[in-house]
Amino acid sequence: SRSSMMKKLLTLVLITRPNQVLLGMKKRGFGQGRWNGFGGKVEKGETILEAAKRELFEESSLKSDDLKEIGLIDFEFVGDPQILEVHVFTTSKFEGEPTESSEMRPQWFNVKDIPFDTMWPDDHLWFPLFLSGTKFKGYFLFEGHDKILKQTLDKVDSL
């Protein structure tokens, strides 16, 4: 039943600079082989924002005290009771130089050349919202990692 559904808290950070977005090529694990923002699990004893900052630093060597939550996306996968609740953050204020980590190989992309063909199939639907500073809430039901069976995506005033 929905009341027994399990939610796993995750973070996703998208760093921008004028006309560009920083993405990382995921080298292993969940989402391997796809470009994505930086993120991962929220550990016990840390806030979602603290987790976003930590994962950003661990995966890219960048630091930011200006992360702003811009989106909230629930991902469900057929046959898996664990729903991923992904808190999406963005900033254009950061310090450091993007550096490859064990998890991610960072690269700047022009906004007009985002590699959606090697990203999760939902991304091209909500990237335009985050890039225009529009807060959003989304839900995507996946079959496997490539097929979206059901989706909702709404602009919101507050998350």
Least Cβ distance, residue 82 to ligand 8WW (angstroms): 12
Span 113-142, contacts to ligand 8WW by CB under 6 A: 120, 122-123
Tokens 């979602």, residue located? 48
Check binding of 31 to ligand 8WW (CB under 6 A).
yes
Q: Which stretch binds ligand 8WW (CB under 6 A): 28-36, 60-68, 89-97, 130-138?
A: 28-36
Check binding of 42 to ligand 8WW (CB under 6 A).
no
Check binding of 39 to ligand 8WW (CB under 6 A).
yes
Q: Which stretch binds ligand 8WW (CB under 6 A): 31-39, 109-117, 128-136, 149-157?
A: 31-39
Half-sphere exposure of 55 (CA within 13 A, CB side): 29
Task: Give Cα separations from 140 to 76, 80, 144, 155 (angstroms).
Answer: 6, 13, 12, 15
The rounded distance, in Å, linking the Cα atoms of 10 and 100 is 21
Total chain residues near ligand 8WW (CB under 6 A): 12
Check binding of 98 to ligand 8WW (CB under 6 A).
no
